[in-house]
Structure 1
């Protein structure tokens, strides 16, 4: 049962991660398409490898969320751990996929505040927003798929973060 749960979480979080990346690239105008209409294009892009990265991040943070030592922490501590996990996963997967395998999936070397061209400050800020959603969605998945208690609203998780509870 445990392995089945983690596979479901991996598939859900991997798919969401890819969707978020496509939308972020479309919104950020890092687009593919014809030169004359780039700013109007909604064609963001991603790599299938991001499914693996996103799925692993979701399973790791969701796995932490299953442990009382983690979910009893204040929300800001959970977010700090989750954001650091995502940032490190982004760095290590970038080193592996981009530098070691030479796949050139992303390159932040032209951006300010980058590290090795694999992570950069602007995205790292977003990586510290995502854990709130991951923790909440992990709780929602656990409720609907595994019969655990229904979690409070996403808004209550945000309030816990803002009020440092």
Structure 2
């Protein structure tokens, strides 16, 4: 029961964080479809509630991987490679489902260079391979806070492991 409760809390936290990251990225990045004339750094970004589901699911999957000793024993760059691939595939499959199958048109990268089916594109995929380091650290921090598990080292130390290939 503790494990299920842990994953529900993580789903809610990661889903909320993902929606806010998307809002901020669109506001700062001037990717405001339908909002001509918006100034840079406007806080008028937007997202879809479906992204809560996708972000929460990605966080739970990567967090669940992080619960297994075999995954934790991998080098940080290997964990990031797996996590980034999970996020990229989640974006691709959710795009196919929401945008193509259901016709919701939540995003369309077909105008960008290096896109695949208009559902994923290289620029975002690069970010999806940075995000797992933060997710792994936050998963450890949430487990420490809610379940009195061992306190994780600083987020900076996780990035240091990544950069030094440890």
Class of the TM-score when normalised by the shorter of the 2 chains: over 0.9
Structure 1 distance, partners of 2:67, 2:105, is 35
TM-score, length-scaled by structure 2: 0.96
For 1:44 and 1:135, the matched residues in 2 are separated by: 26
TM-score by length of 1: 0.97
Query: Helix, strand or coil for the counterpart of 2:118?
Result: coil
Tell me the residue number matched to 1:152: 153
- Give the RMSD, CA atoms, in angstroms: 1.2
Tell me, which stretches of 5 or more residues in structure 2 are unaligned?
none
Match of 1:7 in 2: 8
The offset of 1:23, in angstroms, is: 0.5
Tell me the equivalent position of 2:135: 134
Q: Which residue of structure 1 aligns with residue 112 of structure 2?
A: 111
Paired residues in the alignment total 165
Q: Are the counterparts in 2 of residues 61 and 134 from structure 1 also a CA contact under 8 Å?
A: yes
Which residue in the other structure is 1:28 paired with? 29
Unaligned runs of 5+ in 1: none
Secondary structure of the corresponding residue to residue 148 of structure 1: coil
Kept after mapping to 2: 8 A contact 1:61/1:82: yes
